[in-house]
Chain A
Amino acid sequence: MISSKKAKIRVPNRLSLPGQNFETLWDILKDAIDHIYADQVGELSFELLYRTVYTLVLRRKASELYGHLKSYLGDKLDELGQKSLKGVKGFELLQKLFEIWKSQCHYFKLISDVMIYMDKVYCKYERKVETYDMGLESFKNHIINPIKGHIDEAMLSDINKVRSQGSSEAPQADTWRGIIAMMETLEDEKDNYFSAHFEPVLLQETENYYKNAVNYEELSPVEYLETMKKLKSYEFSLDQKFINVDSTVKVTTVLEKVLIWTEQFMDAVPVLMRDALTNNNVELLRELCSLSSEEKYCTKILGCIKGCIWEDVTSLTVDKNSRKRAQIASQWTNRIIGIYNYYQSLLSTVDLNFFTFEGQDNSSLNVIHEVIGNYLKEDAVQTCEFIALHLDMYAKSTEDKRDINNVKESLEDCVKLFKLISEKDLFENFYKKLMSKRLLHQRSSIKLEKWLVKQIKSEMGNFFTSKLDGMLRDISSSTGLSHFFKPQENTLPNCIFTSQILTMTSWPFQTANILDENVILPPQMHHYKEQFEVFYNRKYNDRTLRWAHHLGFMEIGFQFKNGYYEISMPIYGAIIFLLFEQHEELTAEQILDLTNMPEQELQRQLISLSLAPKSRILKKKPLSKTISPQDTFSINYGFTSPTQKVRLQTIANVTTKSEAQSQVGQDSLEKERVIEVNAAIVRIIKSCKKTDLPSPNLPSKRA
């Protein structure tokens, strides 16, 4: 009953076709499909067909309709396959198939348009694939599946043919792309037909093809690389013509697998890398780096680079026996810096950053740092010593305050090495020693020293420069102090006295020798000494002043026969020299008595005054290489020198002593380290608040 209380609702006429049974209606549709296949769509009334489907669906005949449609399409396709594809092979097959595919897609579309009402009402609720997709499925089952093997074969042999011709034009590519697109459209169980079935086949075939394409063993590394590049770019451009991006990447990966991971190439990589790095061949380097982005390959490349750098740095030879240690040190340092800069500029042309994986930072700088740092670690003592010596040499060249900026520039590179030094305290030790000598003897510009300390501070941290800063402070405060110190009038007018007050803890010297106190100074010097003591005690009442003669030096002007020379020499040497103001000739024994200086020190000074080739201002009789108590000394008036200013070098008297000294330095360093470590342990324990027992993971924290 369809009526309402107020307005009458008219019972609608049935929209569906009246009366006819399923068979008649189905015949209408079958006839329509035949028409569609015959390309005579224009004669059909869509409305009629639509209404037919509508009627069938309304009469709950949808599932029958669906089944009929499916089997009818199957029959159609079977017939078509038999007719046009049987016996056809090769490229022709592909072409035909592609054509059929195109037309079938069109037909399916039309049929599905007609079936739109069924799709909407039946397929959606019954979870059946819609008409169009059903058509595709039938196409796969009835057309593709029977000739699957033929299609694969045709495609592959066709592709390989083009590959072996190596031509960049592939007229067939359009058809290939069409076929591939068809495969991608067709559904398989989980994925589309292409990725489920054809892609693996294609990859496999690609691998086989390239495995056999070239006889790799006959190629030299460079040729190999060339071939590889060519094949890769060729295959890439070919692939782009007919498969999608993802698959291209897959093919490329396969290619890499075939080409790169061969024994020959793995052997060739280091050779090529060596070549690239040695000859500054940026191009080659870039190529090598960009061949593959696989992690394994990147690791290999990085390994090669590191190996090369390592090779280069370890090939630096050090003549340990040479006497000119400073020069060798400087040379060595310069070469390290050279290698460092070379690789830095070279590797910066390549983007190693994309090698970053596992949280490891592989920027080119880090790579260089790692390798060179490792190298520097190998012989830490030597490294620290050499770098310190290198700096020393440069610093000394600024004595006359001319080219500070030049030196700064050349040292800037060296600064980079600072942070690579692992045993920073060792370096500090060496540096401190050399710096203290420079400062005391005023052999470098304070400005540069300050700059250097600043650099060290910024690279290594405050901790290592506190003593260096202390030294600089002492020097500047000493200058201020000397300014205030006005000696009394009765001193010789031609003497200038400069004091350097050193804080004991900052300077790397052993506590002043007690014997120093007993040395008999020449009267003028003694006078100064006393005056200064009085002055200093007045100024800083509670400080103890101790004289360290062995650190001081003195400049004496003297008229020799051939000219006037200003000779600067250590205080001890000066004391000895000044003796000859009153004496013509003295024996070693006499000098010892007159000066009361330590015997060993005396020997050393005498040797440097009378035997060192460049500074023989004393004559010695007899002329032998050792000093015996009975040898007599007198002023060598015949002394000449190319410059007016002469610096008297004190020779290290006994070679074993310097070694012993450095040994002492090492020992004290060890001690310092132990103290630091202990302090660190205490800090850790305190922070853990575990006072009962040292925590078990302490050693690991220490490390």
Chain B
Amino acid sequence: MEGEDVKPTVTLVSSDNMEYSISKEVAMVSPTLRVMLEGPFKEKSGRVELPGIEGNVLAKVVDYLQYNLQYKFANKDQEDIPEFEIPTEMALELLLAADYLNV
């Protein structure tokens, strides 16, 4: 874990109590998470429980958040942007999670 001043991290907790520690910057990609983290609510502590999302799905979500952040400003013509792999069996769950997190 890195120092909070340098890169604050947040912890996402899935329905099966899997914990994912990611940098706040990555979490902020999702408007839903951003509002949670910036607001004065309970979640401002940095621990966000997402009882609606299963651990493996959440892992994929975190992957996507990182992927999004990395290539958000990339120039499509110049850089080779790899495809984001989505396992077919997870597609629907991811779809719901994406809607929920507004990404």
Q: State the A residues within 8 Å of B (CB).
A: 2, 4, 6-16, 41-47, 49-51, 54, 110, 113, 116-117, 120
CA distance in complex: A14, B92 (Å): 11
Q: A16-B52, A42-B42, A46-B36 are in contact. Are A116 and B92 (CB under 8 A)?
A: no
Smallest distance from the beta carbon of B21 to chain A beta carbons, Å? 17
Which residue of A has the minimal Cβ distance to B56?
A: A10
CA distance in complex: A50, B92 (Å): 21
Enumerate chain B residues within 8 angstroms of A50, measured Cβ to Cβ.
32, 36
CA distance in complex: A2, B102 (Å): 23
Enumerate chain A residues within 8 angstroms of B50, measured Cβ to Cβ.
47
Taking CB atoms and an 8 Å cut-off, the chain B residues in 61-103 that contact chain A are 87-93, 96-97, 100, 102
Q: List 29 A-B contacts (CB under 8 A).
A: A8-B89, A9-B91, A10-B89, A10-B93, A13-B15, A13-B93, A15-B52, A15-B53, A16-B52, A41-B39, A41-B40, A42-B41, A42-B42, A44-B41, A44-B42, A45-B41, A45-B43, A46-B35, A46-B39, A46-B41, A46-B42, A47-B49, A47-B50, A47-B51, A51-B52, A54-B100, A110-B39, A116-B32, A117-B32
Q: Is the CB of B43 within 8 A of A46?
A: yes
Which residue of B has the minimal Cβ distance to A8?
A: B89
Enumerate chain A residues within 8 angstroms of B92, measured Cβ to Cβ.
2, 9-12
Which residue of A has the minimal Cβ distance to B44?
A: A42
Q: Is the CB of A116 within 8 A of B102?
A: yes
**Size of the chain B interface, CB-CB below 8 angstroms:** 30
Q: Is the CB of A15 within 8 A of B89?
A: no
CA distance in complex: A6, B88 (Å): 9
Which residue of B has the minimal Cβ distance to A35?
A: B41
Enumerate chain A residues within 8 angstroms of B57, measured Cβ to Cβ.
12
Smallest distance from the beta carbon of A69 to chain B beta carbons, Å? 17
Contact string against A for B residues 9-23, beta-carbon threshold 8 Å, 1 for contact and 0 otherwise: 000000100000000
Q: A45-B49, A113-B35 are in contact. Are A12 and B96 (CB under 8 A)?
A: yes
Q: Is the CB of A110 within 8 A of B90?
A: no
Smallest distance from the beta carbon of A53 to chain B beta carbons, Å? 11
* Interface status of B25 (Cβ within 8 A of chain A): no
Which residue of A has the minimal Cβ distance to B13?
A: A47
Enumerate chain B residues within 8 angstroms of A6, measured Cβ to Cβ.
88
Smallest distance from the beta carbon of B39 to chain A beta carbons, Å? 5
Enumerate chain A residues within 8 angstroms of B49, measured Cβ to Cβ.
45, 47
| 12 additional contacts (CB under 8 A) given A13-B52, A15-B52, A46-B41 | A7-B87, A9-B90, A13-B15, A44-B42, A45-B42, A46-B42, A47-B50, A51-B51, A110-B40, A116-B32, A117-B32, A120-B102
Smallest distance from the beta carbon of B27 to chain A beta carbons, Å? 13
Which residue of A has the minimal Cβ distance to B15?
A: A13
CA distance in complex: A273, B103 (Å): 70
* Interface status of B8 (Cβ within 8 A of chain A): no
Which residue of A has the minimal Cβ distance to B37?
A: A46
Q: Which of A13, A14, A16, A47 contacts B43 (CB 8 A)?
A: A47
Enumerate chain B residues within 8 angstroms of A4, measured Cβ to Cβ.
88
* Interface status of B48 (Cβ within 8 A of chain A): yes
CA distance in complex: A122, B15 (Å): 27
Smallest distance from the beta carbon of A54 to chain B beta carbons, Å? 6
Enumerate chain B residues within 8 angstroms of A45, measured Cβ to Cβ.
41-43, 49
Q: Which of A10, A43, A116 contacts B90 (CB 8 A)?
A: A10
Enumerate chain B residues within 8 angstroms of A2, measured Cβ to Cβ.
92
CA distance in complex: A44, B52 (Å): 17
Enumerate chain A residues within 8 angstroms of B96, measured Cβ to Cβ.
12, 15
CA distance in complex: A42, B39 (Å): 9
Q: A15-B100, A46-B36, A47-B50 are in contact. Are A7 and B89 (CB under 8 A)?
A: yes
Enumerate chain A residues within 8 angstroms of B40, measured Cβ to Cβ.
41-42, 110
Which residue of A has the minimal Cβ distance to B41?
A: A46
Enumerate chain A residues within 8 angstroms of B52, measured Cβ to Cβ.
13-16, 51
B48, B49, B51, most chain A CB atoms within 10 A: B51
Enumerate chain B residues within 8 angstroms of A42, measured Cβ to Cβ.
40-42, 44
Enumerate chain B residues within 8 angstroms of A15, measured Cβ to Cβ.
52-53, 96-97, 100
Q: Is the CB of A47 within 8 A of B48?
A: yes
CA distance in complex: A14, B50 (Å): 12
6 closest residue pairs by CB, A with B? A15-B52, A12-B93, A46-B41, A7-B88, A41-B40, A46-B36
Q: A7-B88, A42-B41 are in contact. Are A47 and B102 (CB under 8 A)?
A: no
CA distance in complex: A12, B87 (Å): 14
Enumerate chain A residues within 8 angstroms of B48, measured Cβ to Cβ.
47
Which residue of B has the minimal Cβ distance to A12?
A: B93
CA distance in complex: A8, B51 (Å): 24
Enumerate chain B residues within 8 angstroms of A7, measured Cβ to Cβ.
87-89
Enumerate chain A residues within 8 angstroms of B35, measured Cβ to Cβ.
46, 113, 116
Enumerate chain B residues within 8 angstroms of A49, measured Cβ to Cβ.
41
Smallest distance from the beta carbon of A174 to chain B beta carbons, Å? 26
Smallest distance from the beta carbon of B20 to chain A beta carbons, Å? 15
Enumerate chain B residues within 8 angstroms of A10, measured Cβ to Cβ.
89-90, 92-93
CA distance in complex: A117, B48 (Å): 17
Q: Is the CB of B39 within 8 A of A117?
A: no
Q: Is the CB of B89 within 8 A of A9?
A: yes
Smallest distance from the beta carbon of B86 to chain A beta carbons, Å? 11
Which residue of A has the minimal Cβ distance to B31?
A: A116
Enumerate chain B residues within 8 angstroms of A13, measured Cβ to Cβ.
15, 52, 54, 93
CA distance in complex: A235, B1 (Å): 60
Enumerate chain B residues within 8 angstroms of A12, measured Cβ to Cβ.
57, 92-93, 96
Smallest distance from the beta carbon of A35 to chain B beta carbons, Å? 10
Which residue of B has the minimal Cβ distance to A51?
A: B52
Which residue of B has the minimal Cβ distance to A112?
A: B35
Smallest distance from the beta carbon of B50 to chain A beta carbons, Å? 6
Q: Is the CB of A43 within 8 A of B54?
A: no
Which residue of B has the minimal Cβ distance to A13?
A: B54
Smallest distance from the beta carbon of B6 to chain A beta carbons, Å? 26
CA distance in complex: A54, B52 (Å): 11
Enumerate chain B residues within 8 angstroms of A110, measured Cβ to Cβ.
39-40
Enumerate chain B residues within 8 angstroms of A41, measured Cβ to Cβ.
39-41
B36, B48, B54, B57, most chain A CB atoms within 10 A: B36
Which residue of A has the minimal Cβ distance to B40?
A: A41
CA distance in complex: A116, B41 (Å): 15
CA distance in complex: A12, B92 (Å): 6
CA distance in complex: A7, B85 (Å): 14
Enumerate chain B residues within 8 angstroms of A43, measured Cβ to Cβ.
42
CA distance in complex: A8, B90 (Å): 9
CA distance in complex: A42, B50 (Å): 18
Enumerate chain B residues within 8 angstroms of A51, measured Cβ to Cβ.
51-52
Which residue of A has the minimal Cβ distance to B36?
A: A46
